[in-house]
């Protein structure tokens, strides 16, 4: 029975293909089957509900327990295939986990861009984890197949091809009815478009969408010795929707296209975080609301304590009279044996040389410090 699992399917995708993920999620959940097929198979009119679609794949680290739970609760795994998802470690982890659940036959590919098995990193759309796990080749529904001269009709055919595989029915059982419904809709759209074209053109002129670029600057003292910020995730919150852009360095601009015109007058929430594990605590996350413009510049500030607060212990001695020297300053331990010094941001370094009044096994401390940092006595 289809309702054995909590979810009919789980959609796995790259954040760069979010548009396709949302579109597929909507098409599957709202696809109405014919009453004849529903009667034959005991389906509801919308038999593919619910479909789990995560809002983003940009979380760092491995799969969370929540995502694993969603995968376990899903009958099918749908992989949106493109060069983006082929290079996504997150997508690979979801495929691997679903394979380990013993549901390899329920993995379905929906190809939106690229060429499967091309062995070209620019065009390859199948994630390499498929080959690494020895999963047999799974033919996917491809929106770029040229069965018809009209590209949109090829896309519709790919949707129906995927649906037929998910439901385990013959393709033609659904496709012929789907084409008839398309013809009816096209006729209705043609009449409506002719009547509304003038009004829509006027509205579009008055509320033209706009594109926006966000630049970033280092607002704290710029220290060339400290590691630069990388893997920046910029989130733009629009009502109940979120748009993302991921940057590889602070020198790049975040770009958002076709934003609603009303955002030029209303405050919109913008957040900036980093996926770089070494730098996650080195910068303060940005969370602000402001009226948008075609170009914005936002400040990012370092947490001055991350590299500036140097602390350590000397293991193997209980003599609190042992002194240590760092950056020309001689330190004595506190009552708990902790040596510490604060260094101004402009003088901070990724590492420091440590000397003591007794020989140490190591003479370098690498930043940032962590609890339990200790040097051993030779």
At the top level of CATH, which class does the domain 210-302 belong to? Answer: mainly beta
Contacts of 231 (CB under 8 A, 6+ apart): 246, 247, 248, 274, 275, 276
How far is the C-alpha of 344 from the C-alpha of 351, rounded, in Å? 14
**How many CB atoms are closer than 10 A to CB 58?**
15
> Residue 97 in contact with residue 63, Cβ under 8 Å?
yes
**Domain assignments of the chain as residue spans, ordered by start:** 2-183, 210-302, 305-376
The pLDDT profile of the chain, 378 residues, written as one tens digit per residue, is 445 799 999 999 999 999 999 999 999 999 998 888 888 888 988 999 999 997 654 455 568 888 999 999 999 999 999 999 999 998 999 999 999 999 999 999 999 999 988 889 899 999 999 989 888 766 789 999 988 888 889 999 999 999 999 998 999 889 988 888 888 888 887 787 777 776 666 666 567 888 899 998 888 766 767 777 778 889 988 888 888 898 888 888 999 998 888 888 778 899 988 876 666 667 788 889 888 888 889 888 887 778 888 988 888 766 677 888 998 899 988 888 888 999 888 888 888 999 888 888 888 988 888 787 888 876
> Which of 221, 311, 213, 329 has the alpha carbon at shortest distance from 270?
213
> Residue 355 in contact with residue 322, Cβ under 8 Å?
no
pLDDT of residue 280: 60
Quickly count helices (H) and strands (E) in the chain: 9, 19
Phi first, then psi: what are they for 183, rounded to 5°? -60, -40
pLDDT of residue 58: 42
> Residue 304 in contact with residue 220, Cβ under 8 Å?
yes
pLDDT of residue 1: 41
pLDDT of residue 204: 65
pLDDT of residue 57: 45
Identify the CATH assignment for 2-183 out of 3.90.1150.10, 1.10.10.10, 3.40.50.10140, 3.40.50.200.
Answer: 3.40.50.10140
Contacts of 49 (CB under 8 A, 6+ apart): 8, 29
Measure the CA dihedral 224/227/233/235, to 10°: -50
> Residue 294 in contact with residue 214, Cβ under 8 Å?
no
């Amino acid at each position: 029975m289809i309702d054995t699992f909590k979810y009919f399917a789980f959609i796995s995708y790259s954040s760069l293909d979010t548009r396709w993920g949302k579109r597929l999620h909507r098409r599957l959940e709202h696809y109405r089957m014919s009453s004849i097929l529903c009667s034959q198979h005991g389906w509801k009119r919308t038999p593919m509900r619910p479909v789990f679609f995560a809002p983003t794949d940009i979380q760092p680290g491995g799969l969370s327990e929540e995502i694993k739970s969603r995968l376990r609760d899903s009958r099918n795994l749908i992989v949106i295939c493109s060069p983006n998802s082929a290079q996504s470690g997150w997508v690979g982890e979801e495929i691997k986990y679903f394979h380990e659940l013993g549901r390899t036959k329920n993995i379905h590919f929906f190809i939106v861009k690229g060429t499967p098995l091309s062995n070209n990193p620019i065009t390859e759309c199948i994630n390499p984890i498929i080959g690494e796990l020895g999963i047999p080749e799974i033919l996917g529904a491809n929106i770029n197949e040229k069965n018809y001269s009209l590209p949109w009709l090829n896309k519709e055919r790919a949707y129906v091809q995927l649906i037929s595989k998910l439901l385990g029915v013959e393709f033609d059982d659904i496709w012929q009815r789907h084409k008839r419904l398309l013809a009816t809709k096209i006729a209705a759209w043609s009449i409506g478009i002719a009547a509304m074209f003038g009004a829509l053109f006027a509205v579009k002129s008055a509320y033209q969408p706009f594109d926006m670029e966000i630049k970033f600057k280092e607002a704290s003292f710029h220290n060339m010795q400290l590691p630069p910020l990388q893997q920046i995730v910029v989130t733009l919150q629009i009502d109940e929707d979120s748009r993302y852009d991921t940057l590889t360095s602070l020198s790049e601009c975040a770009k958002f296209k076709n934003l609603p015109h009303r955002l030029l007058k209303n405050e919109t929430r913008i957040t900036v975080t980093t996926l770089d594990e070494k730098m996650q605590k080195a910068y303060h996350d940005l969370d602000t609301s402001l009226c948008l413009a075609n170009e914005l510049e936002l400040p990012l500030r370092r947490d001055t304590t991350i590299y500036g607060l140097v602390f350590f212990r000397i293991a193997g001695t209980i003599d609190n009279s042992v002194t240590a020297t760092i950056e020309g300053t001689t330190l004595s331990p506190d009552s708990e044996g902790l040596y510490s010094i604060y260094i101004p941001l402009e003088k901070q370094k990724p590492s420091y040389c440590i000397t003591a009044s007794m020989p140490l096994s190591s003479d370098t401390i690498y930043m940032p410090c962590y609890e339990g940092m200790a040097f051993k006595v030779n």
